[in-house]
Amino acid sequence: MDSIIVTGNGPLSGQIPIAGAKNACLTLMPATLLSEEPLTLTNAPRLSDIRTMSVLLQSLGAEVAQMQGGQVLALSSHAITNHKAEYDIVRKMRASILVLGPMLAREGHAVVSLPGGCAIGARPVDLHLKALEAMGADLELRDGYVHAKAPGGLRGGTVEFPFVSVGATENALMAATLAKGTTILKNAAREPEIVDLAQCLRKMGAQIEGEGTGTITVQGVDRLGGATHAVVPDRIELGTYMLAPAICGGEVECLGGRIDLVAAFCERLDAAGISVEETASGLKVARRNGRVRAVDVVTEPFPGFPTDLQAQMMALLTTAEGTSVLEERIFENRFMHAPELMRMGARIDVHGGTATVTGVDHLKGAPVMATDLRASVSLILAGLAAEGETIVNRVYHLDRGYERVEEKLGAVGAKIERISGQ
Span interacting with ligand EPZ, options 3-11, 116-124, 197-205, 223-231, rule CB under 6 A: 116-124
Binding ligand EPZ (rule: CB under 6 A), the pick from 243, 330, 405, 412 is 330
Neighbouring C-beta atoms of residue 65, cutoff 10 Å = 12
Cβ pair 315, 382 in contact under 8 A:
yes
Chain center to CA of 103 = 22
Distances 269 to 10, 213, 277, 411 between C-alpha atoms, Å: 19, 25, 12, 23
Stretch that binds ligand EPZ, among 51-59, 121-129, 145-153, 310-318 (CB under 6 A): 121-129
Site residues for ligand EPZ, 398-417, by CB under 6 A, read 401
Asked if residue 180 binds ligand EPZ (CB under 6 A), the reply is no
By CB under 6 A, tell whether 331 contacts ligand EPZ.
yes
Quick check: 258 binds ligand EPZ (CB under 6 A)?
Answer: no
**Residue 378 makes contact with ligand EPZ by CB under 6 A:** no
Looking at residues 348 to 367 of the shown chain, list those that interact with ligand EPZ (rule: CB under 6 A): none
In the complex with ligand EPZ, the residue whose CB is nearer, 40 or 171, is 171
Choice from 34, 64, 166, 208 touching ligand EPZ (CB under 6 A): 166
Distance of closest approach, residue 170 Cβ to ligand EPZ, in angstroms: 7
CB closer to ligand EPZ, 52 vs 217? 52
Angstrom distance (rounded) from CA 97 to CA 81: 18
Please report, as a single letter, which amino acid is at residue 323.
Answer: T
- Which one of residues 76, 165, 177, 217 is an interface residue with ligand EPZ (CB under 6 A)? 165
| By the rule CB under 6 A, 313 interacts with ligand EPZ | no
| Binding residues with ligand EPZ: total (CB under 6 A) | 22
Q: Applying CB under 6 A, which of residues 127, 348, 398, 416 lies at the interface with ligand EPZ?
A: 127
308 binds ligand EPZ (CB under 6 A): yes
- To 10 degrees, the CA torsion angle through 289, 290, 296, 300? 20
Binding window for ligand EPZ (CB under 6 A); candidates: 65-73, 118-126, 211-219, 381-389: 118-126
Radius of gyration of the chain (CA): 21
373 interacts with ligand EPZ by CB under 6 A:
yes
Of 9, 78, 82, 126, the residue at the interface with ligand EPZ (CB under 6 A) is: 126
CB atoms under 10 Å from CB of 288, counted, come to: 12
Smaller CB distance to ligand EPZ: residue 245 or 401? 401
What angle in degrees, to the nearest 10, is found between the helix axes of 310-317 and 263-272?
A: 10
Task: Give 372's contacts (C-beta < 8 A, 6+ positions apart).
Answer: 118, 119, 120, 334, 336, 397
- Do the strands 39-42 and 72-76 form a parallel or antiparallel pair, or are they unpaired? antiparallel
Strands (E), 256-359: 275-278, 282-287, 297-298, 323-327, 347-351, 354-358
Cα separation, 20 vs 129, whole angstroms: 28
CA distance 39 to 62: 11
Which one among 307, 310, 312, 318 touches ligand EPZ, defined by CB under 6 A?
A: 307
Helix and strand numbers (H, E) in the chain are 14, 24
Q: Does 117 bind ligand EPZ (CB under 6 A)?
A: no
* Residue of the chain from 136, 156, 167, 359 that contacts ligand EPZ (CB under 6 A): 167
Judge contact between 227 and 31, C-beta under 8 A. no
Residue with smallest beta-carbon separation from ligand EPZ: 167
User: Residue 161 CB, nearest distance to ligand EPZ (Å)?
Assistant: 9
| Segments in 60-165 forming alpha helices (H) | 87-90, 100-107, 126-134
Window of 81-89, 126-134, 242-250, 348-356 that interacts with ligand EPZ by CB under 6 A: 126-134
Residues near ligand EPZ (CB under 6 A) = 23, 26, 94-95, 121, 123-128, 165-168, 307-308, 330-331, 373-374, 401
